[in-house]
Amino acid sequence: MKTLATILLLAAGIFVNASAQTTNSLRASPASLEIVLNLQKAVSANTGVYHNLVKFSAAKDITMEVTLRNVSEVTMHFPDLLNGSRVMWDGKEYSHLVPFILAGFSEFPPKTAWQDKLALSLYDIPSEALASGRHTIALKVSGLESNILTIFIDPDK
C-alpha cells in the first residue's frame, strides 16, 4: 500500500512540475505576439479601396503598415523578431533582403506596441510573382501570421 501511495505521489509531482513548465513556456512563447497588417500606397494618395481589395499600379508602390503588440509578460528581443520576419505572398514565404537595424532599440517590453512601415521591395519576391492581378499578402513573425489582405496590381491604373 505504501508503494502505491508513493507511486501516486511521484506521478502527481511529475504532473504538477510538467504543468508548471508548460505554463512558463507559454508565457514566453511567440503566441504572445499580435501582428496586424495594413497596406498603403507608397507616395500617392489615390489608393482605391473596395471591400478589402487595394489597387496598386505596381508592386514597388506597396508599403505595409505593421503593428506588433507584445501582449505577454516577457520582454522580447525586437531585432530578432523583425529579422526573422517573412512575407507571405500568394501563400508562399519570402524572407527580407537586408537585416533590419534599429539604432538604440532592441528590447520589446511587455504590454507595448510598435508600428512602422515596411516596403514590399525589402523582401525577395521574384518579379514574375509580382505580376498584375489579384494577390494575397500577410506577414509572418516568429511563426505567427498576421491577417491576410487581398490586393490587386493594375499597371493601367
Q: Mind listing the pLDDT tens digit of every residue in the chain (157 residues)?
A: 656 555 544 444 444 433 333 333 223 354 688 998 887 654 444 544 433 457 777 777 788 888 999 998 889 888 888 888 899 999 999 998 877 776 667 888 999 998 888 888 888 999 889 999 999 999 998 888 999 988 888 887 5
Domain boundaries, the chain: 31-153
Topology given in CATH for the domain delimited by 31-153? Immunoglobulin-like (2.60.40)
SS3 assignment, position 105: coil
CB atoms within 10 A of CB 153: 19
**Residue 26 and residue 31: Cα distance in Å, rounded?**
8
**Tell me, what DSSP letter sits at residue 98?**
S
pLDDT value of position 3:
62
Q: Model's pTM, two decimal places? A: 0.69
Give the CA angle between residues 34, 35, 41 to the nearest 5°.
155
Q: Could you give the CA distance from residue 152 to residue 25 in angstroms, rounded to a whole number?
A: 40
Write out pLDDT tens, residues 106-118: 888 999 998 888 8
Q: Are 105 and 80 in contact (CB under 8 A)?
A: no
Report which DSSP code applies to 72: S
A 10 A CB-CB count for 23 gives 9
> Cell 513548465, residue?
21
Residues 6+ apart with CB under 8 A from 115: 65, 66, 67, 68
